[in-house]
Chain A
Amino acid sequence: MSGAVAVRRRAIPGALVWGGIIVGAIALLAVLGPWIVPYDPDAFSVRNRLQPPSGTFWFGTDEFGRDVFSRVLAGAHYSLAMGFGATALSLAFGIPLGLIAAFDRGWLSEAIMRAVDVLISVPPILLGLLVLAVTEPALWKTVVAVGLVYVPIMTRIVRAVGLGLLAEDFVQAARARGESAAWILAVDILPNAWPPIIVETALRITFAILLGSALSFLGLGAQPPASEWGLMIAESRPFIEQAPWIGLAPGLCLCILLIAVNLLGEGLRELLDPRLRGRG
């Protein structure tokens, strides 16, 4: 047992490698999308309506004769933007708030944690719905809404990590030296807080993509004619019997992306979380 653990400690987890390769490939396709699409993703073609997949149209065509393959390719960046954008937003707010809540011993920390308690008591999709219900839907608003949903969760995690580090000797030493709070947070706490934050972030991205595409599916995200995958699936519903490929193509791509991001997160966790080492 101990020998196996020692070997695994140095090896990069397979999940990380495979997840990284697939996410990287999808990201590359998303970036290259505009140049490599075989057809204009938004161009109508009445003659080619509802064509099944073939050599000419790899994933078939939709009810307007638009090439589904081109649309899926052109839509890849939406899901990536939602997942990574929303998570970045939750980090941008969650890290400072969490660190302040960990360091401060007064009313500020109390106020932050009470606000977090309230926001965490709202089911995630509801908070998104609430924000999107009262304004005109747009993709950036979905990203902001999903990001805000995860700010309280991120704040809690960063605070917990920070509290743990504050008890460490090197932080106590810095305090004894009379370093300022900002210095201790930036130099002593933050660099050591990264591993758990990275792990949480990677796992969060999956949820952000899921929530964002679900909101788009419900009509509260990207708006037509955008080829966001959740929206494409929603638009395919009336043709589900006649032309199932319109919804299946973006749906399968979304699943592959989610599995890959999930693998990436699990792999990072295996690599960085010492508690998991040696456990199957």
Chain B
Amino acid sequence: MISCKLARNKILKALTPDTLTDDVRDHLQHCEKCEAWFTGYLRLNSAIQQRRKPIVSESVKTTFLYRFLHLGLSADSPIVGTGVGTGVGTEVGLNDTQKIQGDAANKHPMLLQSSANLPGRKQESTSSSPSLLSRYWPLGLVAATILIGFMAVMQLSSQPGNPIAVLPEDPLLKRVVQLNLELSATKTPSERIDKLVGLSNTIYDEMKGIAKVDKGDQINKLSKWYQRIIQDGIVDSVSELNELEREKVLKPLLNQLEQRSLEAQQFAREVPPQSVKSFQNAARDAQSVSEKIRILKGGTS
């Protein structure tokens, strides 16, 4: 005959009285204590079956099992959940179930020990503690809300005309200041031409940078600045060059202006209608200045 412990374990594993093995049945017939235990088990099982299954969230169930298995949950301990389905009805249902299980566990400690190994409950009881995600998901929800808020603020701040927009430092202003200071340190006309060409390139690059989003006003202003720099600044400085400097400076300058004229013409075909005129003007101005410089150079190409 099998031992009491083995018989009770087999009963717990069998789950229903119908599936009890012969050796267990044989044991129950000969052991009064186990027979009484089995009767209690059946009553308990029946009581559990009759209870309405509480609707609880995963976190409540996990917390309950964790406390039940590891923290010595008492029969009167309320289970307070934070998930869907927690409330008065749920709490009452849980407490009733706890009481039944608590009583049974007090009378038959092995039930408590063995219940953790029941196949139907294996998934819930195998983990030593609830996962962090399950326990701290409300914190995750708060973090997600903050994240969404942050993303919304960032999105809003990138839109023009928004008062909360924080603009970065202006690279155009910084570059123009820098070129002005470099210009102040120049000694010769060729050095000045070099800095003025840098200034004109900076302005032209800005035109390209805003061409697709500007409504036309600003790009128009930029094209006028470009015109002033190359017509007033570069042409005047070219006239101050001596023969030696002319040979060295004018050829690359003419190439650059002609290249710029072609590029601006090409750009004028690609940009939105409101920016076309500005690029056409820049192309025309670059061409016109290169012709003036050719004349100053002495008509040679």
Q: Are the chains A and B members of one assembly?
A: no
B residues engaging A (CB < 8 A)?
A: none
A residues engaging B (CB < 8 A)?
A: none
